């Protein structure tokens, strides 16, 4: 999820007023007794572009695209989307590969790899803008390990547009943190003496055949990029992500991301590492967090998952290691998560209580746009 604190400040003012109304309507639109075609889903939810990749028994079976807004072209299988936080499992994959090679130690303090300290940028997309950075001096930083950063237990906030402050004791509890992934990114960049884009290109994109993916905006990315959209289907002004940020700057296609998911599904050792000693997230919903992935437990097995939320875009991925099945949703439209449940239910039938989790509910600005028709 990207750092846009003004969205969350405004959203908090309207969320309480709208959430009750929205929750009942969202439930009605996402609990169908029979599968709906993607085209019907995107039209109902005003999702202007969507691509869904389905994997069955360790093989990519289909990539389906659709457009739900008048005047918007239907994406092609080669269309790029901002995949937002779906970049986190991808970066975690690179980190776990480096750990397997002995390049880094998952249980080592991250500051072992940043001997000159950590300079935190108030805006990760503009790390040197106006000198708005702070050298983090909190002694708790020395206790943060790479494992904690991958599992969101470092005690750091999701995002901070000012000096970085700890919100909890490292290792004590789960708390989702994009800042933690930026800290880990800086350590990996220092280890490899390369920027994020080069690391991902050499160690992930090329080896996995992700030929169209990038962690930074380029003119070629722009040519294939589906524009973002608001909840009401109006275009969202583009924000080119010109700095690679492991937490949210991934540009990819549904097919490219499927290549990555297949690499995870077919690597038994990697899956064991991801699922080893998960951290509880929501015991009532049977949700936990592994090494770079959310974990959902149901009566029929375990699933790995992650969601993405950037202005103009929403994304979701879920895979079932036991069967080698998976589904990937990339969407242009801030209502994109409203179609995630039926898309997942169609591809991976199960209870999937993850969609009841608070962090997957629409925020106040989305609700205001959808139900009050005031779209910022």
Residues 309-324: pLDDT tens digits?
999 999 999 999 999 9
In which region does residue 193 sit, left (phi positive, over 0), alpha (psi from -120 to 50) or beta (all else)? left
Confidence of residue 337 (pLDDT cuts 50, 70, 90): very high
Residue 17 pLDDT exceeds 70:
no
Q: How large is the average pLDDT for residues 13-31? A: 38
CA 40 from centroid of its chain's CA atoms = 25
Largest CA distance in the chain: 57
Confidence (pLDDT) at 128: 66
Residues in the chain: 376
Confidence of residue 129 (pLDDT cuts 50, 70, 90): low
Vertex 221, ends 215 and 227: CA angle to 5°?
105
Task: Provide Rg for the chain, Cα atoms.
Answer: 19
Taking a C-beta distance cutoff of 8 angstroms, is the pair 327, 260 a contact? Answer: no
Structure tokens at 37: 């075609």
Q: CA 40 to CA 293: how far, in whole Å?
A: 30
**Region of poorest pLDDT, from 118-132, 136-150, 361-375:** 361-375
Residue 146 pLDDT exceeds 70:
yes
Residue 168 pLDDT exceeds 80:
yes
Confidence (pLDDT) at 238: 81
Q: CA 238 to CA 211: how far, in whole Å?
A: 23
Tell me: the pLDDT tens digits for 241-255?
999 999 999 999 999
**Region of poorest pLDDT, from 32-41, 52-61, 149-158, 197-206:** 32-41
Confidence (pLDDT) at 362: 83
Sign, Cα dihedral of 238, 160, 85, 204: positive
Confidence (pLDDT) at 368: 65
If we measure between CA atoms, which residue out of 248, 239, 90 comes closest to residue 159? Answer: 248
Residue 269 to residues 207, 210, 274, Cα–Cα distance (Å)? 18, 22, 9
Specify the pTM.
0.91
pLDDT averaged over every residue in the chain? 90
Confidence of residue 22 (pLDDT cuts 50, 70, 90): very low
117-139 exposure pattern, b = at least 16 Cβ within 10 A, e = fewer: ebebbbebbebeeeeebeebeee
Helix (H, G, I), strand (E, B) or coil at 65: strand
Vertex 36, ends 34 and 37: CA angle to 5°?
145
Confidence (pLDDT) at 126: 78
Confidence of residue 363 (pLDDT cuts 50, 70, 90): confident
If we measure between CA atoms, which residue out of 138, 143, 137, 153 comes closest to residue 110? Answer: 143
Q: CA 21 to CA 283: how far, in whole Å?
A: 26
Q: CA 324 to CA 303: how far, in whole Å?
A: 11
Q: CA 233 to CA 151: how far, in whole Å?
A: 34
Total domains in the fold of the chain: 1
Task: Give φ, ψ of 269 to 5 degrees.
Answer: -65, -40
Confidence (pLDDT) at 165: 97
Vertex 351, ends 56 and 336: CA angle to 5°?
75
Confidence (pLDDT) at 214: 98
Confidence (pLDDT) at 19: 42
Confidence (pLDDT) at 371: 58
Taking a C-beta distance cutoff of 8 angstroms, is the pair 362, 22 a contact? Answer: yes
Tell me: the pLDDT tens digits for 219-273?
999 999 999 999 999 999 988 999 999 999 999 999 999 999 999 999 999 999 9
End-to-end CA separation in angstroms for the chain: 18
Confidence (pLDDT) at 10: 44
Task: Give φ, ψ of 76 to 5 degrees.
Answer: -95, 165
CATH number of the domain at 352, please. 3.40.710.10
Confidence (pLDDT) at 367: 60
Residue 33 pLDDT exceeds 80:
no
Q: CA 196 to CA 296: how far, in whole Å?
A: 29
Q: CA 205 to CA 213: how far, in whole Å?
A: 7
If we measure between CA atoms, which residue out of 193, 160, 190, 163 comes closest to residue 178? Answer: 160
Confidence (pLDDT) at 26: 37
Higher pLDDT, 107 or 368: 107
Range of the domain at 77: 5-372
Tell me: the pLDDT tens digits for 48-68?
999 999 999 999 999 999 999
Residue 101 pLDDT exceeds 50:
yes
Structure tokens at 304: 């790995």
């Amino acid at each position: 999820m990207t750092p846009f604190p003004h969205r969350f400040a405004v959203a908090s003012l309207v969320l309480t007023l709208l959430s009750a109304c929205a929750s009942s309507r969202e439930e009605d639109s996402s609990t169908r007794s029979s599968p709906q075609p993607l085209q019907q889903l995107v039209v109902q939810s005003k999702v202007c572009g969507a691509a869904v990749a389905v994997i069955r028994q360790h093989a990519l079976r289909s990539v389906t695209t659709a457009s739900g807004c008048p005047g918007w072209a239907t994406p092609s299988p080669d269309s790029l989307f901002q995949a937002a936080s779906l970049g986190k499992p991808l970066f975690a994959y690179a980190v776990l590969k480096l750990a397997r090679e002995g390049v880094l130690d998952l249980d080592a303090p991250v500051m072992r790899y940043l001997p000159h300290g950590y300079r935190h940028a108030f805006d990760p997309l503009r790390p040197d803008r106006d000198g708005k950075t702070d050298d983090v001096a909190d002694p708790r930083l020395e206790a943060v390990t790479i494992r904690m950063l991958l599992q969101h237990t470092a005690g750091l906030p999701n995002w901070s547009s000012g000096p970085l402050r700890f919100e909890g004791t490292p290792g004590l509890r789960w708390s989702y943190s994009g800042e933690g992934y930026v800290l880990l990114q800086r350590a990996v960049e220092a280890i490899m003496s390369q920027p994020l884009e080069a690391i991902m290109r050499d160690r992930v994109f090329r080896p996995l055949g992700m030929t169209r993916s990038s962690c930074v905006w380029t003119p070629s990315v722009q040519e294939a990029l589906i524009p973002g959209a608001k909840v009401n289907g109006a275009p969202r002004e583009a924000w080119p992500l010109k700095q690679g940020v492991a937490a949210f700057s991934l540009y990819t296609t549904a097919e490219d991301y499927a290549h990555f998911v297949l690499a995870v599904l077919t690597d038994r050792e990697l899956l064991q590492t991801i699922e080893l000693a998960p951290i509880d997230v929501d015991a009532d919903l049977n949700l936990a967090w592994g090494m770079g992935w959310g974990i959902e437990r149901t009566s029929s097995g375990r699933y790995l998952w992650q969601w993405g939320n950037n202005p103009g875009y929403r994304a979701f991925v879920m895979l079932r290691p036991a069967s080698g099945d998976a589904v990937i949703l990339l969407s242009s439209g801030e209502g994109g998560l409203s179609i995630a449940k039926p898309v997942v239910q169609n591809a991976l039938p199960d209870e999937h209580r993850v969609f009841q989790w608070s962090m997957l509910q629409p925020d106040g600005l989305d609700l205001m746009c959808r139900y009050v028709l005031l779209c910022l």
